[in-house]
Each structure stands twice: as C-alpha cells, then as structure tokens.
C-alpha cells in the first residue's frame, strides 16, 4: 500500500484501517454541482468538451445535469448521453415525477434521485413530513427502476438528519431497488473521524450497500472526508474538477484521485497525466481561476524559489516534492527571485552551457535578489482588484435587474 518513498513506512500499523476498495467508480459532479457554483454556466457544447476529456481521463460516471432545469440543460444531457463516450452518463432528478420523466426522456442509463433529509430542510425548505419524504422517494425510485435505469438515491444533508429517519428512508428505497446509496455532507460539517463513525453506523444499520459519498469543502475537509469514506468502504466518490461546486466547492477530482494512487497505492484506472489539461480546460470554461497554492493543479504546486528548496529538489526531487510533476501532466518550475540561491543559478546557466566564475555568480545572485525585492507587485495587484470587482460577483447586476423590473412595469417604491 502506498509508496514507501512518499511516507515513512507506517503502513503495517495502519493497513487494516486504511484499506480501500480497489474498484472505485469516480463520479464526476463538475457539470452539475460544479455548474451550480454562482456565475458558472456551461453551454451544451462546453459540457460536451468537458465530458469528452473526463471520458478520455477515464472517469467512469459523469453527472451531466438536471434535465428539468431548462430546455438547454435537457439538450446538453441528451447530447452527452448519445455522444458515445466511454463514461456512463447520469442525470439528476428531485423526487418529483416530472423531474424523473425528464431524466427518462433524456436517454441516460443512470439517474440520481435526490431529496433532503434533515429536519431543517424538511421543516423550512420542503415543508414535508418524514412520511411524505419516504413516499416521494419510494415512488421516484420505483418509477426510475421501471424505466430500466441504474438508480442512485441521494439525500441532501444526510449527516444532519435523524439517524433513525435516514435508516428508514434508505431501507425503503433499497426495498424498491435503489442500486447505489449516496450519503451527502451537504454543508461540509463532517470531520474525518466523525464521518468514519457515521459511515460505519450507516452500514451497520442499512446493511452492505454500494456506497457513495458527496462531500463539501466548507471547512476545507472535503478531500479528507472523501478519503475517509473510501477507508470505510465507499466505492463511488463524488468529485469535481478543481474542487468546483456550491460555496467552497466539492472534493476535488485531482486531489482524491492522486491521493488514492500515491498515498494508498490503489490504481484508479485514470489517466493522471491528463489531469492538468482537464483542470485548465475547466478553469477556462468555468471562469473560476485556480488558487495559486491549490494542491496539484495550482500554479505553485510544483514551483520552487527558496534557495534551500531549489537546492534540495535539484539534488533529488523527493526532498521537497512528494510526486513528480509529470505524473499529473505538469512540469517543475524554478523561480528566480528574492529567495534564490546559487544552485538554481548554476542549473539555469546550464541551459546555455554557460560557465560563470564564483565572483560572477555572486554578482548575478545579488542582482537577481535585488531585482526580486524591487519587482513591481502592481500588475498582480491590479489583476486581483480587477477580478474582485468585475468577475468575483457574476450574475445579473442590480442595474440590469431593476431595468428588467421596470421594463415589465412592476410597481416599485424607492427605498
């Protein structure tokens, strides 16, 4: 398990607790939950481009969206379903008959049927009783099974629901043929240890199941919680490229996939070397820039400037890099600046077979450090400000909104 070069070999002590299923079904949510991120919108063509690359990467299951949302969304789902991709295409539906029919009509073979489960959602959002939720869920699952679909049953906010109710609800949908059960940490409040307990208890109460998890990143724990779920036996982790998704996003595909391969030593069947290409495509089409320090796909994830680090990496990459950048389709970058040391200069000079004297090296280093300290931060600061004001709050502007209201002659009062 794992790569003994990556971690001190504590695996014998933790092997039992860390055993994860060897046949994982990565369930990509970029085109559904990812697209629900404020301001993100993929056209059917863009969805197809992303789906084609997800398929080339080897993602087994892609949620294409919710067909009942709009005619365009339904068209996108139909397109993906008929595009001949190697990935299975799934579409999502509330436990509402017209949602389920829209999925059936879209030509996909997989459906995710979802309804909320926690008291706060039932009371304030759905205004439904537990009995009503069970009835709606059972009817929808039964109808989807009749239509010949593979059915995943999802509850929103599973982990904040009463466990007795969760047990009753999931047992009821299993009884009518639900194929896969999804536990959702919709607002990202689980911690790894708590989630482990939760999932063990879920399996104890409901019985062995094809278990899937949907983890959000509100506390930055989505990837950790997803890995914990795999340790508990879940086989179908929900992931999004670049960790896109509502609010702080979902577990990121690249983090979960590379961790599974390199920290757990389990083959995913995915083309990890194409993850960066995928990440960049989604960054462009979503318009959501990747944080510089984002794991694996951030611009800095394989960059070094500090002298000690550069020296170490040049001597042996494992000193300061857990994996080779090429494994995820990237290249190492050595940045020259304030923190640069001599080793980086010697390496850089090799590009042109330049041989400098010690005195020249010292002077070159002094100039680079000085230049690094004086470098203008203006362009970066401008970009950040520009992004904040122009792009970070996308959607319809207030002015546009009130113009539409006026256009429809809706009476208003100025505050």
Residue 181 CB, shortest distance to Mn ion, in Å, is 16
Closer to Mn ion by Cβ: residue 185 or 305: 185
Residue 212 CB, shortest distance to Mn ion, in Å, is 13
Query: CA-to-CA distance for 74 and 53, rounded, in angstroms?
Result: 21
Contact 263/15 with Cβ under 8 angstroms? no
Residue 121 CB, shortest distance to Mn ion, in Å, is 13
Count, in order, helices (H) and strands (E) of the chain.
Answer: 16, 10
**Residues paired with residue 110 on neighbouring β-strands, in sequence order:** 90, 150
Query: CA-to-CA distance for 367 and 385, rounded, in angstroms?
Result: 30
**Residues paired with residue 236 on neighbouring β-strands, in sequence order:** 212
Residue 10 CB, shortest distance to Mn ion, in Å, is 33
Candidate segments 30-38, 145-153, 172-180, 313-321, binder of Mn ion by CB under 5 A:
30-38
Candidate segments 33-41, 77-85, 107-115, 287-295, binder of Mn ion by CB under 5 A:
33-41
**Residues paired with residue 290 on neighbouring β-strands, in sequence order:** none
CA-CA distances (angstroms) from residue 49 to 31, 64, 281, 282, 384?
11, 12, 9, 10, 28
Contact 53/241 with Cβ under 8 angstroms? no
Q: Which two tokens stand for residue 138?
A: 């059972």
Binding residues among 377-396 for Mn ion as defined by CB under 5 A: none
SS3 293: coil
Closer to Mn ion by Cβ: residue 33 or 73: 33
Closer to Mn ion by Cβ: residue 102 or 251: 251
Closer to Mn ion by Cβ: residue 112 or 368: 112
Candidate segments 27-35, 187-195, 283-291, 311-319, binder of Mn ion by CB under 5 A:
27-35
Candidate segments 25-33, 82-90, 102-110, 325-333, binder of Mn ion by CB under 5 A:
25-33
Contact 137/173 with Cβ under 8 angstroms? yes
Residue 214 CB, shortest distance to Mn ion, in Å, is 6
Q: How does DSSP assign 278-320, residue by residue?
A: HHHHHHHHHT-PPPTT-TTTSTTTTEE-SHHHHHHHHH-GGGT
Closer to Mn ion by Cβ: residue 185 or 254: 185
Closer to Mn ion by Cβ: residue 246 or 305: 246
Residue 105 CB, shortest distance to Mn ion, in Å, is 24
Closer to Mn ion by Cβ: residue 225 or 310: 225
Query: CA-to-CA distance for 374 and 368, rounded, in angstroms?
Result: 10
33 binding Mn ion? (CB under 5 A): yes
254 binding Mn ion? (CB under 5 A): no
CA-CA distances (angstroms) from residue 259 to 63, 382, 394?
22, 35, 33
Give the nearest residue (CB) to Mn ion.
33
Residue 135 CB, shortest distance to Mn ion, in Å, is 24
**Residues binding Mn ion (CB under 5 A):** 33
């Amino acid at each position: 398990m794992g790569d003994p070069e990556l971690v001190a070999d504590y695996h014998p002590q933790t092997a039992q607790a860390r055993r994860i299923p060897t046949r994982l079904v990565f369930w990509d949510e970029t085109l559904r939950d990812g697209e629900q991120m404020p301001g993100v919108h993929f056209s059917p063509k863009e969805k197809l481009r992303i789906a084609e690359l997800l398929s080339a990467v080897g993602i087994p299951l892609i949620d294409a969206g919710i067909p009942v949302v709009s005619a365009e969304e339904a068209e996108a789902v139909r397109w993906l379903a008929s595009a001949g991709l190697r990935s299975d295409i799934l579409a999502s539906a509330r436990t509402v008959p017209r949602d389920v029919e829209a999925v059936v009509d879209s030509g996909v073979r997989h459906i995710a049927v979802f309804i909320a489960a926690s008291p706060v959602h039932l009371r304030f959002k759905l205004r439904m009783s537990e009995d009503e939720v069970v009835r709606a869920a059972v009817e929808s699952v039964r109808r989807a099974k009749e239509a010949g679909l593979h059915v995943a049953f999802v509850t929103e906010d599973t982990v904040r629901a009463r466990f007795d109710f969760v047990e009753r609800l999931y047992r009821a949908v299993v009884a009518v043929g639900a194929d896969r059960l999804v536990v959702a940490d919709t607002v990202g409040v689980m911690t790894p240890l708590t989630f482990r307990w939760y999932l063990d208890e879920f399996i104890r109460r409901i019985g062995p199941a094809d278990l899937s998890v949907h983890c959000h990143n509100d506390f930055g724990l989505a990837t950790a919680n997803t890995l914990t779920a795999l340790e508990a036996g879940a086989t179908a982790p929900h992931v999004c490229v670049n960790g896109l998704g509502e609010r702080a996003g979902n577990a990121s595909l690249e983090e979960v996939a590379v961790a599974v391969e390199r920290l757990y030593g389990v083959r995913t069947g995915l083309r990890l070397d194409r993850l960066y290409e995928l990440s960049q495509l989604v960054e462009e089409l979503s318009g959501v820039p990747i944080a510089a320090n984002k794991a694996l796909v951030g611009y800095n994830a394989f960059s070094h400037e500090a002298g000690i680090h550069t020296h170490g990496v040049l001597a042996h990459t494992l000193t300061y890099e857990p994996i080779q950048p090429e494994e995820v389709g990237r290249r190492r970058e050595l940045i020259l600046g304030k923190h640069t040391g001599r080793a980086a200069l010697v390496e850089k000079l090799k590009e042109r077979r330049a041989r400098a004297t010690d005195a020249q090296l010292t002077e070159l280093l002094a100039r680079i450090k000085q230049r690094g300290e004086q470098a203008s931060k203006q362009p970066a600061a401008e970009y950040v400000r520009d992004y904040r004001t122009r792009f970070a709050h996308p959607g319809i502007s207030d002015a546009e909104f009130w113009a539409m209201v006026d256009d429809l002659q809706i009476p208003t009062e100025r505050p």
